[in-house]
Amino acid sequence: MQVKSFRHLVFTLHRYIGLAVGLIAIIVGLTGSLLVFHSEISSFDQQRQIGTITPQGEALPIEVVLNMVKKTYSNQPDATLQAIYLPSKPNEPMNVFLKTKEKDWNENYVNPYTGAILGNNLKPTFVNKFFEIVYPLHYALLGGDIGYKFVGIIGLLMSFMSITGIILWPGWRRLISGFKIKWNAHPKRLNFDVHKVAGVITAVFLICTFFTGFCWSFGEFINPMIYAVTFSKQQPTPVSVPIAGKSALGLKEQLKTAQAALPDAALRSISFPSKPEEVLTVSFKLPQETEDYAQSNVYLDQYNGKVLRVDSSLKVSLGDRIINSFVPLHYGTFWGIPSRIFYVFVGLAPLVLFITGFVMWQYRYRAKTSNSDAEGNPKRERLIEMSQSRHN
320 with 336: CB under 8 angstroms? no
* Helix/strand number for the chain, H first, E second: 13, 8
User: Measuring CA to CA, how many Å separate 341 from each of 35, 39, 159, 258, 344?
Assistant: 11, 14, 21, 36, 5
How many residues are there in the chain? 392
Model pLDDT for residues 111-122, shown as the tens digit of each residue: 999 999 998 877
Q: How far is it, in rounded angstroms, from Cα 258 to Cα 268?
A: 12
The pLDDT of residue 376 is 55
CA–CA separation, 83 and 107 (whole Å): 10
Q: Contact, 284 vs 294, CB < 8 A? A: yes
DSSP 3: H
> What's the CA gap between 287 and 291, in Å, rounded?
10
Q: Average pLDDT by consecutive 10-residue portion of the chain (392 residues)?
A: 85 94 97 95 90 89 92 86 92 92 88 92 87 96 97 98 96 92 92 96 98 98 96 93 89 95 95 94 92 89 95 92 95 94 97 95 81 57 47 40
Phi, psi (deg, nearest 5) at residue 277: -90, -5
Looking at residue 244, what is its pLDDT?
Answer: 87
Distance in angstroms between the alpha carbons of the first and the last residue of the chain: 34
At 265, the amino acid letter reads A
Per DSSP, the three-state class of 207 is: helix
Fill in the amino acid letter for 65.
V
Q: Are the CB atoms for 261 and 286 separated by under 8 Å?
A: no
Kindly report the backbone phi and psi dihedral angles of residue 267, in degrees, each rounded to the nearest multiple of 5, phi listed first. -65, 135
pTM score: 0.86
Query: What pLDDT sits at residue 121?
Result: 77
Helix axes 38-50, 126-140, angle to 10 degrees: 160
Q: Using one digit for the tens of pLDDT, what is the confidence trace for 193-243?
A: 999 999 999 999 999 999 999 999 999 999 999 999 999 998 899 999 998
Q: pLDDT (tens digit, 9 = 90+) per residue, 305-332?
A: 999 999 999 898 999 999 999 999 999 9
Task: Give the residue extent of every domain in the chain.
Answer: 1-53+123-233+319-392
**CA–CA distance, 277 with 248 (Å, rounded to integer):** 11
Contacts 24+ apart (CB under 8 A), 85-90: 85/268, 85/269, 86/62, 86/112, 86/267, 86/268, 86/269, 87/112, 88/268, 88/292, 90/53, 90/55
- For 228, other C-beta atoms within 10 Å of its C-beta total 11
Name the residue among 263, 266, 270, 320 with its Cα closest to residue 299.
Answer: 270
